[in-house]
């Protein structure tokens, strides 16, 4: 089988529900304050899906925008992967609903569940499908409606999350023939490497207390915040170093880091440990809050639309989430 050397992100899109919920509004319902939330998390506001607005609706809107941005039609898409832990239904996959809403009947569509690391896991999966020569064009979507699974009476968790979706179009960089692109090695544009990890021993520090097999209900998100914080700093630092070293690059070569947007203190802490200036860290957590698998593609769309991400830039995407799962994708934009 002919191996493609790389795959490239050729378009981004995102969608946020219209309704914005501010910290001040939350403070009217819960014993919390804008000052506490800002100081501990950097979150100012979050978007909340309207009644009847489903994860697949958010995902489809983000996907449509990414397709337009890439100049690709839905008919050209060979594979749709939706990273989500808030699917519309237990089954079928949200991805198949997105496929139908996009008006596509070709190729395959499936969901991928790696919680807040979902987009990184989905991008790695899509990249491997392309490198194996099985597909040419993939829609990789992160879409979530965490407002439906947070416990709105638990101030320690409900203030942290928001709803949204982001999508990228990934395409084989070298065409069907798999001819060598120039330049090659770590100067080539496209995904340079992907690094995935998980350790199920840490299930209990971040989980949902329900599911079809365990309780036959949806359940609510539960979290030991301090423990997640500690793991996040250590694992995100380690996987960034792993990705850069695997490509014979240095941390100082990075132009941008686009981390999962959980908490500004995690973003700042990882940036400091890696020795990266804050200007290189794309942060959207203030506006979007934690949108789990959607947070990285939402941030990519912001930074690509405002002109920060430029062709040839070295971009590290990284995330940690329930499982625990964590990982990184290093790409030359
Ligand atoms: N408003 C006011 N007070 C609050 C709130 C709130 N929203 N939430 C908790 N408190 C109180 C607690 O009850 C506690 O009060 P007490 O001292 O009287 O018991 C006090 O604030 C301190 O609570 P802690 O939980 O110890 O606060 P901490 O400093 O650890 O901050 C936080 C909590 C923000 C969740 C922090 O642990 C954190 O950011 N953890 C990372 C987890 C994360 O970001 N998870 C996202 C999902 S995982 C992921 O995406 C990777």
The pLDDT value recorded for residue 6 is 85
Query: Does 246 share its domain with 283?
Result: yes
Instruction: Give the closest residue (by CA) to ligand 1 atom 7.
Output: 155
Query: Does 44 share its domain with 150?
Result: yes
Whether residue 180 is predicted with pLDDT greater than 60 in this model: the reply is: no
Is 23 considered catalytic here?
no
The CA distance from 71 to 50, in Å, is 29
Is 290 considered catalytic here?
yes
Q: How many domains does the chain have?
A: 2
pLDDT digits (tens, 9 = 90+) for 284-307: 999 999 999 999 999 999 999 999
Query: Does 242 share its domain with 151?
Result: no
Query: Does 160 share its domain with 200?
Result: no
How does DSSP assign 167-195, residue by residue? EEEEEETTTTTTPPPSS-GGGSSEEEEEE
Pick left, alpha or beta for residue 46 (phi over 0 → left; psi -120 to 50 → alpha; otherwise beta). beta
Q: What is the mean predicted confidence (pLDDT) over 259-284?
A: 96
Contact present, 153 and 331 (Cβ < 8 Å):
no
Q: What is the mean predicted confidence (pLDDT) over 167-195?
A: 77
Query: Does 78 share its domain with 163?
Result: yes
pLDDT digits (tens, 9 = 90+) for 216-229: 999 999 999 999 99
Whether residue 44 is predicted with pLDDT greater than 80 in this model: the reply is: yes
The pLDDT value recorded for residue 186 is 82
Last residue of a domain, one of 173, 203, 236: 173
- Lowest-confidence pick of 117-126, 175-184, 319-328: 175-184
Of the pLDDT bands very low, low, confident and very high (cuts 50, 70, 90), residue 176 is very low
Contact present, 326 and 235 (Cβ < 8 Å):
yes
Query: Does 31 share its domain with 141?
Result: yes
pLDDT digits (tens, 9 = 90+) for 236-262: 999 999 999 999 999 999 999 999 999
Secondary structure of residue 58 in the 3-state scheme: helix
Nearest-atom number in ligand 1 for the CA of 26 is 7
Which of 4, 12, 69, 116 is flagged as catalytic?
116
Ligand 1 pocket check: which of 83, 156, 203 to mutate, most ligand atoms within 8 Å of Cβ?
A: 156
Q: Going by C-beta distance under 8 Å and a sequence separation of 6 or more, which residues neighbour residue 114?
A: 83, 120, 121, 122, 198, 293, 321, 323, 325, 327
Q: Kindly give the distance from the C-alpha atom of residue 156 to the centroid of ligand 1, in angstroms, as a whole number.
A: 5
Last residue of a domain, one of 173, 202, 230: 173
Average pLDDT over the chain reads: 95
The pLDDT value recorded for residue 179 is 46
Tell whether 117 is covered by a domain. yes
What are the backbone dihedrals phi and psi of residue 34, each rounded to the nearest 5 degrees, phi first? -55, -40
Query: Does 16 share its domain with 151?
Result: yes
Q: Which tokens belong to 127?
A: 């990249």
Q: Kindly give the distance from the C-alpha atom of residue 226 to the centroid of ligand 1, in angstroms, as a whole number.
A: 7
Query: Does 205 share its domain with 135?
Result: no
3-state secondary structure 96-134: HHHHHHCCCCCCEEEEECCHHHHHHHHHHHHHHHHHCCC
Whether residue 41 is predicted with pLDDT greater than 80 in this model: the reply is: yes
Whether residue 125 is predicted with pLDDT greater than 80 in this model: the reply is: yes
Of the pLDDT bands very low, low, confident and very high (cuts 50, 70, 90), residue 54 is very high
Nearest-atom number in ligand 1 for the CA of 160 is 46
Q: What is the mean predicted confidence (pLDDT) over 178-201?
A: 81
The CA distance from 128 to 137, in Å, is 12
Is 260 considered catalytic here?
yes
Within 6 A (CB) of ligand 1 lie 32, 36-37, 40-41, 116, 155-156, 159-160, 206, 223, 225-226, 228-229, 232, 260, 262-263, 290, 320-321
Secondary structure of residue 62 in the 3-state scheme: helix
Query: Does 243 share its domain with 292?
Result: yes
Of the pLDDT bands very low, low, confident and very high (cuts 50, 70, 90), residue 1 is very low
Q: Which domain holds residue 119?
A: 6-173
Q: What percent of the chain has pLDDT over 90?
A: 93
Tell whether 41 is covered by a domain. yes
The enclosing domain of 276 has a CATH number of 3.40.47.10
Q: Which tokens belong to 281?
A: 């860290």
Does the predicted TM-score (pTM) go above 0.85?
yes
Which of 69, 127, 263, 290 is flagged as catalytic?
290
CA angle 129, 130, 134 (to 5 degrees): 65
Instruction: Give the closest residue (by CA) to ligand 1 atom 31.
Output: 40
pLDDT digits (tens, 9 = 90+) for 19-28: 999 999 999 9
Give the position of tokens 């939350």: 26
Tell whether 179 is covered by a domain. no
Query: Does 10 share its domain with 153?
Result: yes
Query: Does 211 share its domain with 161?
Result: no
DSSP 3-state percent helix, strand, coil across the chain (nearest 5) = 40, 25, 35
The pLDDT value recorded for residue 174 is 65
Tell whether 241 is covered by a domain. yes
The pLDDT value recorded for residue 119 is 98
Q: What is the mean predicted confidence (pLDDT) over 159-174?
A: 95
The CA distance from 274 to 152, in Å, is 35
CA angle 173, 319, 139 (to 5 degrees): 35
Q: What is the mean predicted confidence (pLDDT) over 267-289?
A: 96
The pLDDT value recorded for residue 177 is 39
Whether residue 182 is predicted with pLDDT greater than 70 in this model: the reply is: no
Query: Does 198 share its domain with 325?
Result: yes
The pLDDT value recorded for residue 117 is 98
Contact present, 300 and 119 (Cβ < 8 Å):
no
């Amino acid at each position: 089988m002919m191996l493609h050397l790389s795959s490239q992100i050729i378009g981004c899109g995102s969608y946020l529900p219209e309704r914005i919920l501010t910290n001040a509004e939350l403070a009217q319902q819960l014993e919390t304050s804008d000052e506490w939330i800002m100081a501990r998390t950097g979150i100012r506001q979050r978007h909340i899906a309207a009644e009847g607005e489903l994860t697949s609706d958010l995902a489809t809107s983000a996907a449509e925008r990414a397709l337009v941005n890439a100049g690709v039609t839905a008919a050209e898409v060979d594979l749709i992967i939706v990273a989500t832990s808030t699917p519309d239904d237990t089954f079928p996959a949200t991805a198949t609903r997105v496929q139908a809403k996009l008006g596509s009947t070709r190729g395959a569509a499936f969901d991928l569940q790696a919680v807040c690391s979902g987009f990184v896991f989905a991008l790695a999966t899509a990249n491997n499908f392309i490198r194996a020569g099985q597909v040419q064009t993939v829609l990789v979507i992160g879409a979530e409606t965490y407002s439906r699974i947070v416990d709105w009476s638990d101030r320690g968790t409900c203030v942290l999350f928001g709803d949204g979706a982001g999508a990228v179009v990934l395409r084989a960089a070298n065409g069907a023939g798999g001819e060598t692109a120039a330049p090659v090695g770590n100067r080539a544009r496209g995904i340079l490497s992907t690094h995935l990890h998980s350790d199920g021993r840490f299930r209990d520090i971040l989980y949902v207390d329900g599911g079809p097999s365990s309780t036959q209900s949806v359940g609510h998100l539960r979290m030991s915040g301090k423990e997640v914080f500690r793991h996040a700093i250590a694992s995100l630092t380690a996987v960034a170093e792993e990705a850069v070293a695997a490509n014979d690059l240095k941390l100082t070569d990075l132009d941008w880091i686009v981390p999962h947007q959980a908490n500004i203190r995690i973003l700042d802490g990882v940036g400091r440990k890696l020795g990266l200036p804050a200007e290189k860290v794309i942060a959207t957590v203030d506006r979007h809050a934690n949108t789990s698998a959607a947070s990285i593609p939402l941030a990519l769309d912001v930074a690509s639309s405002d002109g920060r991400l430029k062709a040839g830039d070295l971009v590290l995407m990284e995330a940690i989430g329930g499982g625990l799962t964590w990982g990184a994708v290093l790409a030359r934009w």
